[in-house]
């Protein structure tokens, strides 16, 4: 695993905006960064990333049924009691799932370690599945990369195939928060793949979804702006937020097939990490993890503290083995945390910025198959929503 500096393509910003990648830069700072790329060997990809991704995925899938039947584990995960039966039914009816991303720490040597699962609303999808693939093709065509360069990236094809095989109500709606440019870009990309697979797609902002009931006030149903029932919905909006909204009461009554399904709220929860460690202690791809309780030891060196529902590194605290403390601000302050053993992200030299940088690897799963990787960089050991996205290649 190498970090290699490279010249940017001359026209990439104009092309990005042409294809709808409007979030390539945030507040004047680059999000998409092609001043360097990461190079892996095929053995690293197949043995250290692809195979462990599918093994870890199977491990967590094997736990879902047990969690749905355990009051103790549902309580530890802070799943509202009113939704326990809904989640159980979602799993036992076999409601299908589409995709997810697990975040790994990996330096090219030894086993990758699981940092967390993003199994409900993962983003970085367009830049992984489309834009970094175009970068690879362009750089080969430009003679910057050799003809034999490849990429671990079957994300686009596998998602399109998944949409072709899922039995979805028609029309099938997609939703996200109205003014979130990144989420809308992700949803637009998913809608494009679904349409290519033959799905009748419709977009509706989350704020425009309505709820109607019968004359007795029962049988609530989600509807669009024309009061047409929404029977199928991809929602780029976290389950833990959904169940707290004013429309939450309608979730369990509405006859709406959700992607991702309700049982995914068990896996997008940081509490899955201590449950995994308890089930598979000392697994080479796991880090020790525990629920923080009132009787836990004082938070000390060599540990990371994460809120159960934190995203993009928000409200994460860590103390390195040497005692260096770091924290990321954020809105997740409900007081429920897990602790995970600290395992440093690999550090590289960013020649373009003449600064050190830390790399975290995201490994995608579509259905139950590994589907590619993405890489995020940050100046600190905590990867955040502002962390840069860099492309990668496979070359032996």
- What are the backbone dihedrals phi and psi of residue 88, each rounded to the nearest 5 degrees, phi first? -60, -45
Q: Is the pLDDT of residue 204 over 90?
A: yes
Name the pLDDT band for 15 (thresholds 50, 70, 90).
Answer: very high
Cβ atoms 280, 268 nearer than 8 A: no
Q: In 3-state terms, what secondary structure has residue 326?
A: strand
Q: In what order do the strands lie in the sheet with 392-394?
A: 2-5, 36-40, 392-394
Q: Count of CB atoms within 10 A of residue 142's CB?
A: 11
pLDDT (mean) for 271-289: 98
Cβ atoms 158, 125 nearer than 8 A: no
Cα-Cα-Cα-Cα torsion 152, 157, 160, 164, nearest 10 degrees, comes to -120
| DSSP character string of 19-37 | TT-TTSEETTEESB--SEE
Q: Is the pLDDT of residue 310 over 90?
A: no
How far is 87 from 93, CA to CA, in rounded Å? 10
Query: Could you read off the pLDDT of 101-127 as tens digits, one per residue?
Result: 999 999 999 899 999 999 999 999 999
| Mean pLDDT estimate for the chain | 95
How far is 42 from 374, CA to CA, in rounded Å? 16
How far is 295 from 277, CA to CA, in rounded Å? 19
Name the pLDDT band for 395 (thresholds 50, 70, 90).
Answer: very high
Q: For the whole model, what pTM was predicted?
A: 0.95
Token digits of residue 170? 């028609």
Per-residue pLDDT, 337: 94
How far is 3 from 143, CA to CA, in rounded Å? 19
Among 21, 252, 13, 1, residue whose Cα is nearest residue 109: 1
pLDDT (mean) for 145-160: 98
């Amino acid at each position: 695993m190498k970090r290699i500096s490279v010249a940017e393509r001359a026209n990439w910003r104009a092309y990005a905006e042409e294809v709808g990648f409007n979030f390539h830069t945030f507040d004047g700072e680059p999000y998409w960064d092609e001043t360097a790329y990461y190079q892996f060997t095929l053995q690293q990809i197949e043995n250290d990333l692809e195979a462990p991704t599918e093994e870890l995925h199977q491990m967590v899938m094997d736990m879902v049924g047990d969690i749905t039947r355990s009051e103790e584990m549902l309580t530890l995960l802070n799943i509202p009691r009113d939704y326990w039966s809904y989640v159980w039914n979602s799993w036992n009816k076999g409601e299908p799932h589409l995709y997810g991303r697990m975040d790994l720490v990996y330096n090219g040597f030894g086993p990758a370690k699981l940092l967390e699962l993003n199994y409900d609303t993962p983003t970085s999808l367009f830049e992984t599945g489309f834009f970094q693939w175009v970068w690879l093709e362009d750089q080969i065509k430009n003679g910057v990369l050799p003809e034999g360069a490849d990429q671990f990236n079957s994300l686009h094809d596998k998602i399109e195939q998944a949409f072709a095989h899922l039995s979805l109500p028609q029309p099938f709606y997609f939703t996200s928060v109205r003014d979130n440019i990144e989420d809308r870009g992700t949803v637009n990309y998913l809608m494009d793949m679904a349409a290519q697979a033959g799905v009748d797609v419709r977009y509706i902002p989350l704020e425009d979804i309505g709820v109607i009931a019968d004359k007795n006030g029962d049988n609530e149903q989600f509807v669009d702006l024309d009061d047409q029932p929404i029977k199928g919905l991809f929602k780029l909006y976290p389950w833990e937020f959904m169940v707290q909204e004013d429309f939450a009461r309608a979730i369990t009554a509405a006859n709406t097939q959700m992607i991702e399904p309700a049982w995914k709220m068990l896996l997008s929860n940081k509490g899955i990490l201590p449950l995994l460690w308890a089930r598979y202690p000392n697994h080479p791809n796991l880090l020790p993890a525990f629920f923080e309780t009132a009787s836990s030891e004082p938070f000390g060196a060599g540990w990371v503290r994460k809120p159960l529902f934190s995203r993009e590194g928000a409200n994460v605290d860590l103390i390195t083995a040497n005692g260096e403390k770091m924290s990321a601000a954020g809105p997740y302050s409900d007081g429920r945390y897990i602790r995970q053993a600290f395992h440093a992200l690999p550090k590289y030299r960013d020649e373009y910025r003449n600064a050190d940088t830390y790399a975290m690897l995201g490994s995608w799963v579509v259905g139950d198959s590994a589907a590619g990787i993405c890489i995020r960089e940050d100046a600190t050991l905590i990867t955040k929503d502002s962390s840069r996205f860099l492309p990668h290649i496979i070359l032996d």
